[in-house]
Amino acid sequence: MSDFLAIAYPRLADKLHKLPIAHLPTPISCHDIDTGAGVRRVMVKHDDLTSDLYGGNKIRKLEYIFRRAKDRGAERVATFGAVGSNHALATAMHAKQLGFECTCFLAHQVRTPRIQQTLDMHLELGTELIKWGGAVKRVDLYRRKLQNRNIWVIPLGGTCWLGAVGFVNAGLELAAQIGTDKLDMPTRIYMANGTMGSVAGLTVGLGLAGINIEIHAVRVADNRFARREVLRRLIEKTLELLHDIDPSIPADADARSKLVWRDEFYAGGYAAVDDVTERAVRFAAGNLGLSLETTYTGKAMAAMRSDLDSSTEDARYLFWNTYNSRPLPTFGSGHPRRDQLPKQFARYYE
C-alpha cells in the first residue's frame, strides 16, 4: 500500500490523482552511533530508493505532476534547474519512460564531479537542453521554446502545491511506518531544503498525522529560491487547496508540526563545498552506509552530525535521504552525441 494520503482522505483521492511511478513506502534503516555524549539512535528514510529507474525525493512530486500533464493532454514537459540538477534529470528520465518529450532549461553552477555524467545522460535521453539564467532574456526565450508546443511546464524543483502533495503523502507514510514497524518515534528529521516543496509537504503531512517532530530544514539554495516567508506561503497554499478539495482536511494542520530553519551549513553558495560538508559525506559513508553528494544531502548530513556531536539530550534522529542511489551508465569520453550539446555547456568537459 503506497498512497497513505488516499487511505486517510478517500474524498481527496477521488479528485486528486497520481501516476504510481514511485515504489512506496521507502524503507527505514536504524543505526546506533557512538558520539562523545553517548550512543544516539539514527534512522535513515531511504527515498534514494523511490524508483528502480532513478530515485530521490523528486519522484514523489512527479507522480502528481505527470498525472496532471497527462490529464491535460500534454505531449512534452519542460522544467528548470542547474546543469547538474537531479530534478531535471529525474524529470527527463521518467518523462521518457512515460512517453513525454522533455525540455530542460539549465543554468550554470559550480562544477561538481557528476555534471559530465548528468549531461551525458540527458544526451542519451534526447533531452532538449537550453541555457537559462544569467543575461538570457527569459520572456523571449520562453516565447520561442514554450509556445505552441503542447507543453506542461514543471516549476523549478517540482515545487508547487501539487508537487508538495507528494510529501504530504510521505509524512503520512512515515507515521504509518512508525506505527506498524515498531520504530522509535524520531525527535528530529533532517532534510535538505532547496526549492522547499519537500519540506512544505512533509510539514503538512506530519501535521495531518498528528505527530510533533522537529523538521530541520537545512538550506542548500540561494535566498532567491529558499526563504522562510515563501515556505510559509507554500505550506498555507497547499493546505488551503487540499481543504478546498476535501473539507475534512484541517486548514491548520501545519500548526501541529515544528519547523526549524537551518542556515549555517550553506557553505557559501549553491553547490559550494567546505570541509564540514565533505566530512559529513565521509561520516555518512562510514557510519550509515550512505553515498551522499555535497550539494544537497551532504549539507543536511552536516547539520545532523553537528547536532549529534554537540547535543547532550537523548534525541532520536531521522535523516531523510533525498538523493538517488540508482547507478547511471558511464559513457566515457566518446559519447556519440556530445557534438549535439549546446556550446554553452562545453565548459563542463574542459
Q: What percent of the chain has pLDDT over 90?
A: 84
Mean pLDDT of 258-281: 96
Let me know: does 159 contact 195? Beta carbons within 8 Å: yes
Residue 134 or 28, more confident: 28
pLDDT of 222 above 70: yes
User: Cell digits for 125?
Assistant: 535521453
pLDDT of 4 above 60: yes
Say what the pTM is.
0.95
Query: How many CA atoms lie within 13 Å of 218's alpha carbon, on the beta-carbon side?
Result: 29
Whether 58-157 and 4-57+159-321 are alike in CATH topology: the answer is yes
| Maximum Cα interatomic distance, the chain, rounded to a whole number of Å | 61
Query: How many residues make up the chain in this entry?
Result: 350
Q: Measuring CA to CA, which residue among 339, 322, 328, 348 is closest to residue 46?
A: 322
In CATH terms, the fold of domain 58-157 is Rossmann fold (3.40.50)
Locate cell 532520536: which residue? 316
Rounded to whole angstroms, the Cα distance separating 114 from 254 reads 36
Q: Measuring CA to CA, which residue among 47, 288, 258 is closest to residue 173?
A: 47
* Residue 1 pLDDT: 54
pLDDT of 333 above 60: yes
Q: Measuring CA to CA, which residue among 241, 253, 52, 289 is closest to residue 171?
A: 253
Instruction: Kindly report the average pLDDT of the chain as a whole number.
Output: 94
User: Cell digits for 88?
Assistant: 531535471
Rounded to whole angstroms, the Cα distance separating 26 from 176 reads 12
User: Rounded to 5 degrees, what angle do the CA atoms 348, 284, 2 make?
Assistant: 90
Ranges 100-109, 179-188, 205-214, 284-293: which has the least confidence: 179-188
CATH architecture type of domain 4-57+159-321: 3-Layer(aba) Sandwich (3.40)
Mean pLDDT of 280-308: 97
Q: What percent of the chain has pLDDT over 70?
A: 99
Ranges 161-170, 301-310, 330-339: which has the least confidence: 330-339
Indicate the domain borders of the chain.
4-57+159-321, 58-157
